[in-house]
Amino acid sequence: MVNNFGEQYKICAIDTKKRKTALRYARKLKQRVDLIRHTYAIKIGLISIIDNGLSIINELKKITKLPIICDLKIADVPHIAADISEKVYAAGADGIVIQGFVGKEVIKHIKARTPYLHIYLVSEMSHNAGGYTSEHLEDFCKMAKDFQLEGIIGPGERPERIQLIKNSVKDGVNDKTKIIAVGIANKNEEDEAIKHGADLIMEGREYQRLLDKQDVKKLLGQIGIYAGVAFILSLLLTILLPDAIKKIAEPPLVNIFVSTSMTMTGVVIGFLKGDARI
């Protein structure tokens, strides 16, 4: 399904605690042209920054060459919120996530202190029907529109809320603010969110699944090579040295070895072609 923002319609969420894991995912993403060409930015969560420090921001940026959004969900008084924004901007961040309920003063302070840092505003959370903030959705949408914020975040699993955000934020004149759907659990929810107005889809688990699957394919490829070599050697030995083989092992064992090698090779080749599943 074509979205409203073009080919780059996904934000890759990297929320791992370990630096090594976060950087590994970033390197693998960089190698996957089929994934990175659809990726608008990298989102790094609070837990990653707490465990690894602000330096992780620039490290991810250098590897992926993508904008970095710090999902800190800022919920503090204006001058503290602006202090935090300055810190992450100095560390290489391109955007920051704030809670909508903090109000206009926080947005003004952040814009004044870090005018080039993009602000993404949370309209409501993706759990428990959005919590108490869901009652003020229209107010948050108005703030995002009035300040021409870079993005507003809504619950992707509730497409009717995405539709309400679109109706409030998009007017055909000032459509700068992007609608970001989070909490997506499957492809159907992603399609519905886009259908109802989402410009960007923020995902973490699906990216990790695809990148981890790449490792499995690589491992199976290596196994397939070894199995194929074993099969060829067993054939050569059976043809060239039949008497020696008979002395080493009983014919049934040789047959089992050959058939097993052939089966493993076939399964691995089938998986790598996409004809088999694990």
Residue positions annotated with a catalytic role: 73
- Residue (of 25, 45, 24) closest to 35 by Cα position: 25
Q: What is the number of other CB atoms lying within 10 angstroms of the CB of residue 224?
A: 19
Which are the contacts of 214, defined by CB distance < 8 A and separation ≥ 6?
A: 28, 32
Task: Round to the nearest angstrom and report the end-to-end CA distance of the chain.
Answer: 27
Q: Which residue has the tokens 């300040």?
A: 147
Max intra-chain CA distance, the chain:
89
Instruction: For 184-249, give the DSSP string.
Output: --SHHHHHHHHHTT-SEEEESHHHHHHHHHHHHHHHHHHHHHHHHHHHHHHHHHHHH-HHHHHHHS
